[in-house]
Chains A and B, each alone.
Chain A
Amino acid sequence: MKLLDLRNISVSFGGVNALEDVSLNLNQGEILGLIGPNGAGKTTMLRVITGVVQSNKGEIDLEGQMINNLPIHARVRKGLGFAQQLVRPFQEMTLVENVALASGIEQTRHPWRSMFRVERSEALRESLKWLAMVGIEDAADSLPNAVPLGYLKRMEVARVLALRPRMLLLDEPLAGLNQAEAAAFADILVKLNRQGQTILLIEHNLAEVRRISSRLVVLDNGRKLAEGNPESVLKQSSVLEAYVGKGNVHVEN
């Protein structure tokens, strides 16, 4: 079942086409890997979905509802959970407080009414569970500048999960992690997916993407190059060419 359906998305920045007529969809319950070389348009695609970038053409359909014109926060409230590539924790809040701001999303829906809502302990308790889910509950009371990057990356995922999103949109969650950390992080994503979480993942770590994705979409130069199950997509010569350049493919094979 299609959860998110992107139709004919085009984006240009000052005459340069970042995305040209790209269509893709995200199905309920899958892990979709969005891959491609640098500059392929992956991050732009994610920004179009969240509303940070407006597409020049195309439609974004969330279960039959067009969300093209909704502002970022409204899309988030409709179930789009976006984790940024560079983790940006609120530095003056502890990790659990960072997450609690997200898990209390119902408390902040109506700005005026939020003035009369004081109780935070339930949101904090729930946030501890999310921190435990990603394995960093021991650092709940630490400030962000006191924990390693791997912890912050997990906190970012916990914070997005706390919004109870219908889909997780992750921009290079494994970047900056060592091999063991990356594998452990990828396992967390698999665990979440088994619990029913739909995930769209941009990732450069092909080994992990191939291992955990149920489907791949390859972008190159703003166009969709290939789509399908990981094994067959990664064997296509056009995909290999996009990654390693023409003429080098035999080396890769």
Chain B
Amino acid sequence: MGYEISLLTVMGISIIGSLSLNLITGFCGQVSLGHAAFVGIGAYTASLLTKADTSFFIALLAGTLLAGTFGVMVGLASLRVRHDFLAITTMGVNFVFLGVVRQQEWLGGELGVSSIPDTGLGKLGFLALVLGSVILVALLSLQIRRSWMGYVFEAISEDEDTARMLGLDVSRYKLIAFALGTALAGLSGGLYAHHVRFIFPDSFAFVESITLLAMVVIGGNGSIIGVIIASALLSVLPQWFQFIGDYKLLLYGSLLFIVMRFSPGGLSGLTQSLFPKSKNSFALKENQ
């Protein structure tokens, strides 16, 4: 039973992480290759705080907010870069994060942060907290997608110059995507740190950013349910099959490549092409 609970907890934390990246990359079209850095900021902040006797929930909140703050700063710096250049810039952010964390004694250096305190929620209680967060993040994603904000994100992700010509404040919308996405990455980091109770720099290495991106792309860039399914699968596979853990970068990298090449819409795109549903016709409805 303990194993299943742990598995579900890991799954839930991955889903929060990939849904948070989905807000930035899937909804708003801003490819980020450094999302693990923000997961790391949340994890380090929350665990150092609980080790300093801060209450768990306040620590979790602080990790979320700090990750979001850094996210806005990176977003501000990235406003002028697009596409490939944005991907490279965010990749750089991941390496800067690792470089800083490895060098700082007070952050644990190479050894990381160990004996992170127990949350006192119990394993089931913690799982309930994680699943509750998954539901909230999924609902937030749904709300964004059906709102005018989601409409604008769609436009920005396709053609931001034209979006500007329609009076849309592209920069601010992008910053919102960064703020929300990185803050929620921080939340998943805080949860992760208190689940495994031991973190070190490599927990947030570049390969973890690629893993998150693979979950988003394989699920179907922008599709909420697709991303949930893909991250549930990809997060437990290495737990079931040890060899996957050893070849993670190779496997997820290849998956990423295969999906991009053969089904750019990911799982969600594949389902739609297998079972096409007619698009709601607005004009026809009006005329009836």
Chain A interface residues toward B at CB < 8 A? 50, 71-74, 76-77, 82, 84, 88, 90-94, 96-97, 101-102, 104-105, 107-108, 111-112, 114-118, 120, 124-125, 128, 137, 140-141, 159, 163
Contact = CB atoms under 8 A, between A and B. Distances in A.
Given A90-B154, A115-B149, A141 B281 contact: yes
8 closest pairs, A vs B, by CB?
A76-B167, A140-B283, A114-B148, A107-B148, A115-B149, A114-B149, A72-B164, A117-B148
Given A76-B167, A111-B149, A115-B147, A101 B282 contact: no
A114 B165 contact: no
Contacts of A159: 166
A236 B30 CA distance: 53
B160 to A, nearest CB: 11
Contacts of B279: 94, 141
Interface of B: 143-144, 146-149, 151-152, 154-155, 158-159, 161-162, 164-170, 172-173, 176, 279, 281-284, 286
A111 to B, nearest CB: 5
Main secondary structure of the interface of B (DSSP, over half): helix
B107 to A, nearest CB: 33
A134 to B, nearest CB: 14
Contact of A73 (B154, B159, B169): B169
Contacts of A115: 143-144, 147-149
Contacts of B167: 73, 76-77, 102, 105, 108, 163
Nearest to B180: A115
Nearest to B177: A111
Contacts of B144: 115
A117 B148 CA distance: 6
Given A88-B161, A88-B162, A159-B166, A114 B154 contact: no
Contacts of A88: 159, 161-162
Contacts of B282: 94, 96-97, 124, 128, 140-141
Given A120-B151, A124-B282, A141-B279, A76 B165 contact: yes
Given A91-B158, A118-B148, A111 B176 contact: yes
B94 to A, nearest CB: 27
Contacts of B143: 115, 118
Contacts of A101: 151-152, 155, 166, 168
A101 B128 CA distance: 39
Contacts of A96: 282-283
B152 to A, nearest CB: 5
A93 B152 contact: no
A153 to B, nearest CB: 14
Nearest to B164: A72
A76 B166 CA distance: 7
A114 B164 contact: no
Given A76-B164, A88-B162, A102-B166, A114 B155 contact: no
B127 to A, nearest CB: 29
Contact of A118 (B147, B162, B164, B170): B147
B283 A128 contact: yes
Nearest to B143: A115
Contacts of A71: 164
Contacts of B149: 108, 111, 114-115, 117
Nearest to B140: A115
A82 B165 contact: yes
A116 B143 CA distance: 8
A114 to B, nearest CB: 4
Nearest to A50: B165
